[in-house]
Amino acid sequence: ETGVTQSPTHLIKTRGQQVTLRCSSQSGHNTVSWYQQALGQGPQFIFQYYREEENGRGNFPPRFSGLQFPNYSSELNVNALELDDSALYLCASTVQGFNDEQYFGPGTRLTVT
Amino acid sequence: KNEVEQSPQNLTAQEGEFITINCSYSVGISALHWLQQHPGGGIVSLFMLSSGKKKHGRLIATINIQEKHSSLHITASHPRDSAVYICAVPDSFQGAQKLVFGQGTRLTINP
């Protein structure tokens, strides 16, 4: 158990729809990062939030957006879903940075049809 | 941009064998992470190390900062060790520190 939870576990959406994925981090973890992991690939960095502000972004279009809340929860929103968005979405939290231990959630598996 | 290479990509062994998984990276780092991912997706952090060696149960991780290389060893392997093992290193990208992941090593331990 890492103390990081994600919801929902699985989700099926249709192309063009919008989706919100949720992550609940451990108390005191000010930094949360979101990753997309396509089947058979390593996770790819989407963005990072630190104290409710976006702190960097990977090569993902603006239709991927996020929020972080004061209660250590966060959201990943994806608009105008495309078939290629089908993947496992992981959040990882830590106290501050990547020299600290990362705590991963179990992931949300999104299927876009 | 840090690039991470793992070898082998796939490894099948018999129960009890000593396992070694290797990870090389291209840019100097302050810490390296070894992660375990079971079928179904969840990732667990096994080690974070910046020098020398760390041991946890049957798992041992070593790192050579000068050679930009790390290894993960499993002694007395067991079928429950079957998983994907991933190494990851920090990298700065547009002001954010992010993790760059290797492609993973799929380990299968047969009874």
Helix, strand, coil fractions of chain A, as percent rounded to 5: 5, 50, 45
Question: Which residue in B48, B98, B101 has the most chain A C-beta atoms within 10 A of its own C-beta, making it the best mutation to test that interface?
Answer: B98
Asked whether the predicted pLDDT for residue B90 surpasses 90, the reply is no
Check residue B38 and give its pLDDT.
87
Check residue B95 and give its pLDDT.
63
The residues facing A93 across adjacent strands are: A32, A103
Check residue B69 and give its pLDDT.
95
Residues A22-45, mean pLDDT to the nearest whole number = 90
Asked whether the predicted pLDDT for residue A100 surpasses 90, the reply is no
Backbone angles phi, psi at B98, to 5 degrees: -130, 165
Give the pairing of strands A5-7 and A87-94: unpaired
Of B41, B94, B101, the CB nearest to A56: B94
Is A26 or A91 the better-scoring residue by pLDDT?
A91
Check residue B52 and give its pLDDT.
93
User: How many angstroms away from the CA of B99 is the closest CA of chain A?
Assistant: 7
Q: Is the Cβ pair B96, A55 closer than 8 Å? A: yes
Is B66 or B40 the better-scoring residue by pLDDT?
B66
What confidence category does residue A40 fall into, taking pLDDT thresholds of 50, 70 and 90? confident
- Give the number of beta-carbon pairs within 8 Å between A and B: 76
Neighbour-count burial of B102, counting CB atoms closer than 10 A to its CB (0-12 exposed, 13-18 middle, 19+ buried): buried
Check residue A102 and give its pLDDT.
80
Asked whether the predicted pLDDT for residue A98 surpasses 60, the reply is no
> Which range (A27-41, B59-73, B92-106) has the least confidence?
B92-106
Can you tell me which residue has the tokens 């105008």?
A: A80
Asked whether the predicted pLDDT for residue A9 surpasses 80, the reply is yes
What confidence category does residue A41 fall into, taking pLDDT thresholds of 50, 70 and 90? confident
Instruction: Write the pLDDT tens digit of every residue in B24-61.
Output: 998 877 789 999 998 877 888 899 998 999 999 999 99
For the CA atoms of chain B, what is the radius of gyration?
14
Can you tell me which residue has the tokens 């004061």?
A: A70
Asked whether the predicted pLDDT for residue B65 surpasses 60, the reply is yes
Residues A4-27, mean pLDDT to the nearest whole number = 95
Rounded Cα gap, residues B82 and A105, in angstroms: 20
Check residue A111 and give its pLDDT.
97
Please give the full DSSP string across A27-94, using - where no structure is assigned: TT--EEEEEEE-TTS--EEEEEEETTEEEEE-S--TTEEEEE-TTSEEEEEE-S--GGG-EEEEEEEE
What confidence category does residue B12 fall into, taking pLDDT thresholds of 50, 70 and 90? very high
- Cβ–Cβ under 8 Å, residues B64 and B77: no
Contacts of B4 (CB under 8 A, 6+ apart): B23, B24, B25, B26, B87, B88, B89, B100, B101, B102
Q: Is the Cβ pair A97, B97 closer than 8 Å? A: yes
Nearest to B99 by CA among A14, A83, A103, A25: A103
- Residue A16 backbone class (left: φ over 0; alpha: ψ -120 to 50; beta: rest): left
